[in-house]
Amino acid sequence: MLNLPFPVRDANASSGSEGLGNLPEWDLSDLYTSPDAPELQADLDWLDKECASFAADYEGKLAGLTAAEMLTCVERNEKISQVSGRIMSYAGLRYYQLTVDAERAQFMSNMQGALTEFSTPLVFFTLELNRLDDDKLEAMFAENDALARYKPVFDRIRAMKPHQLSDELEKFLHDLGVVGDAWERMFDETIAGLEFEMEGETLNIEATLNFLTEQDRSKREAAAREIARVLGANIKTFARVHNTQAKEKEVLDRWRKMPTAQHGRHLSNHVEPEVVEALRNAVVDAYPKLSHRYYELKRKWLGLDVMQVWDRNAPLPMEDTRTVHWDEAEKTVMEAYAAFDPRMAEIAKPFFTDGWIDAAVKPGKAPGAFAHPTVTNVHPYVMLNYLGKPRDVMTLAHELGHGVHQVLAAEQGEMLSSTPLTLAETASVFGEMLTFRKMLDAAKTKEQRKVLLAGKVEDMINTVVRQIAFYDFECKLHAARRESELTPEDINALWMSVQAESLGPAFEFMDGYETFWAYIPHFVHSPFYVYAYAFGDGLVNALYAVYAEGGEDFQEKYFDMLKAGGSKHHKDLLAPFGLDASDPKFWDKGLSMISGMIDELEAMEE
């Protein structure tokens, strides 16, 4: 690959947001130097030939392979995944930097189309694997250790065995996948193109949502009402996207004989439905002692008779509203990581120095934040929309945790590095916790400690309570869509049914809030993804309790867990720490940490 002496700059690159310092931006040349780079074309040509060659060599023949031949087959399949993953990572990251750019959207769509076409002949691979005899596979694993390393991959593929369709139908559905992707793109482009009028300026949704954390209550209210106005004006489009996506899922689930709409996500997460149900029930049962109790405290702090939705993420009256410069954010997170283990800071360092983070808010850039692992022979990329809020520092700590996890897991290779969603939040939430504890220890006054504790409780409520409410909303949405087409009003009603229950009696809900489901991307891109946040937070709270108690060799065990990637089940990963997520009491342990922080906040009022 061509190594240029300078980073590839983006068309929408800027020197950084006002007053925040020199915010880093991506250098995507570690993937490809440009959309017309010869290396990219070479990879496309290789994929086209290799996919056809792979099918010619193995289709209809898997049952007759020796263990050594099966290993070669798996390794060739892994290489195909790596090259195609590199291409789509580049196309996707470029697109997310400027989602309103027609050329980038076209390029990503063209790459998706080409890769779908190339990979159609490979559909046989998982279908034939699932027809292999269990005893034959076990004998192969016993004979060849290198092949046995891939057993978790085989297990995950074969979990779909009861839901597999005919070879011809599977190929048809594979080809049809591009159509479903088009609805996701429509959602992304609609969200990115929305315009909100605030204080005489035209803003995107990310900048407008940021007003909901303003100290000035009138600005928060204005932002909430403007979001409601714009979402309301576009609600038919969002309802159409959700209806179509949910109906497509219902058809696929019916053909695959999935018992519930959630079941496919549980299979891909390698987690038992009863474990998710135990988590969900533990959180819902805890609403009164968590969110209801905390928001009642916040209502008093804000001096309100009743809270409105624009007060949910309001800063506290005594909160420091200063802007956190990028250099300070970097220093805070890096010091917290280094204090836990110097190796963690060492892994995080190139994210800041080598163009692995894109931090500034820019017109047309995708909202939110993420860490994308790309492929195991490159490195992850982190996207932020950094506005200098104290919580933006926690977002940096969170996404950097993902990045560290992805770097460590990369040594497992393409097929084993990917962590199920339930465990994918482990390092990110742990990184946040380390950063929070460092800031809490540095608090000089009772008020500073109170603000930090309240902020952390709010983040945990947003991660645990809010995401489980989202999960319940999705469960209701998909169940209702199985019965009938849903009007925007139908979806609005489902949304409101979970909001009051989760937020509690301290709140009143303005007209228009019923449409706020419309901007949440997870519902469209990854149905039922959201419970993974609550799973991760509960898991990390339990993990952190072991760390705080001085668990023996904790750092080594923690690094081993991250290095394992997706090569082990959650039971095996947690066993060295004496934890078991299938035990309902496990979730109470995590939730009690949040409850304990609220206890401390209540004690400060006395």
Q: What is the 3-state secondary structure (H, E, C) of 96-162?
A: HHCCCCHHHHHHHHHHHHHHHHHHHHHHHHHHHHHHCCHHHHHHHHHHCHHHHCCHHHHHHHHCCHH
C-alpha count within 13 angstroms, C-beta hemisphere, residue 109: 16
Cβ atoms of 498 and 170 closer than 8 Å:
no
Residue 372, phi then psi, degrees to nearest 5: -105, 120
What would the mean pLDDT of 344-369 be, rounded to a whole number?
Answer: 94
Confidence of residue 157 (pLDDT cuts 50, 70, 90): confident
User: What does the pLDDT read at residue 9?
Assistant: 30
Q: Tens digit of pLDDT for each residue in 127-142?
A: 899 889 989 999 999 9
- CA dihedral angle for residue 423, residue 424, residue 429, residue 432, rounded to 10 degrees: 150
3-class state of residue 379 by DSSP: coil
User: What does the pLDDT read at residue 494?
Assistant: 97
What would the mean pLDDT of 523-540 be, rounded to a whole number?
Answer: 90
C-alpha count within 13 angstroms, C-beta hemisphere, residue 431: 31
User: What does the pLDDT read at residue 321?
Assistant: 65
User: What does the pLDDT read at residue 13?
Assistant: 36
Its sign, for the CA torsion 496, 502, 505, 509, is negative
Confidence of residue 85 (pLDDT cuts 50, 70, 90): very high
Residue 179 pLDDT exceeds 80: no
What would the mean pLDDT of 504-516 be, rounded to a whole number?
Answer: 96
- What is the percent of the chain where pLDDT is above 70? 96
User: What does the pLDDT read at residue 533?
Assistant: 86
DSSP single-letter state for residue 382: E
Which contacts qualify for 244-252: CB closer than 8 Å, 24 or more apart? 244/183, 245/180, 245/183, 245/184, 245/524, 245/527, 246/477, 246/478, 246/481, 246/486, 246/527, 247/481, 247/485, 248/180, 249/478, 249/527, 250/478, 250/481, 250/482, 252/173
Confidence of residue 10 (pLDDT cuts 50, 70, 90): very low
User: What does the pLDDT read at residue 31?
Assistant: 98
Distance of CA 253 to the CA centre of its chain: 23
What residue type is 13 in one-letter code? A
Cβ atoms of 395 and 502 closer than 8 Å:
no
Which helix (H) or strand (E) segment holds residue 372: the answer is strand 370-372
Q: Tens digit of pLDDT for each residue in 375-432?
A: 999 999 999 999 998 889 999 999 999 999 999 999 999 999 988 877 888 999 899 9
What residue type is 430 in one-letter code? F
Confidence of residue 12 (pLDDT cuts 50, 70, 90): very low
User: What does the pLDDT read at residue 17?
Assistant: 61
Confidence of residue 1 (pLDDT cuts 50, 70, 90): very low
Cβ atoms of 415 and 74 closer than 8 Å:
yes
**Cα–Cα distance list, 458 to 117, 437, 448, 526 (Å):** 46, 15, 15, 24
Which helix (H) or strand (E) segment holds residue 460: the answer is helix 446-463
Confidence of residue 7 (pLDDT cuts 50, 70, 90): very low
Neighbouring-strand partners of residue 372: 381
Q: What structural domains and CATH numbers belong to the chain? A: 28-180 (1.20.140.70)
Cβ atoms of 59 and 325 closer than 8 Å:
no
CA 434 – CA 431 distance, rounded (Å): 5
pTM, rounded to two decimals = 0.79
Distance of CA 118 to the CA centre of its chain: 28
User: What does the pLDDT read at residue 443?
Assistant: 84
Mean pLDDT lowest among 173-182, 467-476, 524-533: 173-182
Residue 584 pLDDT exceeds 70: yes
- What is the percent of the chain where pLDDT is above 90? 70
Residue 529 pLDDT exceeds 80: yes
Residue 175 pLDDT exceeds 70: yes
Region for residue 585 given its phi and psi (left: phi exceeds 0; alpha: psi -120 to 50; beta: otherwise): alpha
Residue 73 pLDDT exceeds 90: yes
Residue 6 pLDDT exceeds 70: no
> In the numeric block, which tokens belong to residue 329?
């954010």
Residue 2 pLDDT exceeds 60: no
What would the mean pLDDT of 522-526 be, rounded to a whole number?
Answer: 91
What would the mean pLDDT of 208-217 be, rounded to a whole number?
Answer: 91
Confidence of residue 16 (pLDDT cuts 50, 70, 90): very low
User: What does the pLDDT read at residue 18?
Assistant: 66
Residue 173, phi then psi, degrees to nearest 5: -65, -35
User: What does the pLDDT read at residue 8?
Assistant: 33
The average confidence (pLDDT) of the chain is 90
Residue 537 pLDDT exceeds 50: yes
Confidence of residue 536 (pLDDT cuts 50, 70, 90): confident
What would the mean pLDDT of 12-28 be, rounded to a whole number?
Answer: 73
User: What does the pLDDT read at residue 381?
Assistant: 97
What would the mean pLDDT of 231-248 be, rounded to a whole number?
Answer: 95
User: What does the pLDDT read at residue 399?
Assistant: 96
Distance of CA 530 to the CA centre of its chain: 8
Residue 92 pLDDT exceeds 90: yes
Region for residue 374 given its phi and psi (left: phi exceeds 0; alpha: psi -120 to 50; beta: otherwise): left
CA 488 – CA 79 distance, rounded (Å): 44
